[in-house]
Amino acid sequence: MSVVVKIPTPLRKFAAGQRRVEVPAGTVGAVLSALVTGSPELADRLYAGDGLLKPTVRVFVGETDIEALGGLAADAADGAVVSIIPPVAGA
């Protein structure tokens, strides 16, 4: 049982260039924890010092923002696609 995490282009250099990573299904928090275990350099880009996601990082399960699903406690069931959307600067 696993989910696919899509790694956006700006973060791929911290994930050995991978576009997608397969990790065990579970809560979004557990999915991201498994992702960071395999690619530790991602932790500083995703998490604030308090262990919560940085406010500028958005995470989606399918097409739904996890904030609408319960945050890091949201379910990422087997076969789900989790997408990380990094902050975008500029106008």
Kindly report, residue by residue over 25-37, the tens digit of the pLDDT.
Answer: 999 999 999 999 9
**Per-residue pLDDT tens over the stretch 35-53:** 999 999 999 999 998 889 9
Long-range contacts of 12-20 (CB under 8 A, 24+ apart): 14/39, 14/41, 14/42, 14/45, 15/39, 15/41, 15/42
Amino acid at 29: G
Q: Are 84 and 3 contacting, i.e. CB atoms less than 8 angstroms apart?
A: no
Q: Which two tokens stand for residue 11?
A: 């973060």
* pTM score of the predicted model: 0.90
The CATH number of 2-85 is 3.10.20.30
Which percentage of the chain shows pLDDT scores above 90? 87
Cβ atoms 42, 15 nearer than 8 A: yes
Cα end-to-end span (Å), the chain: 41
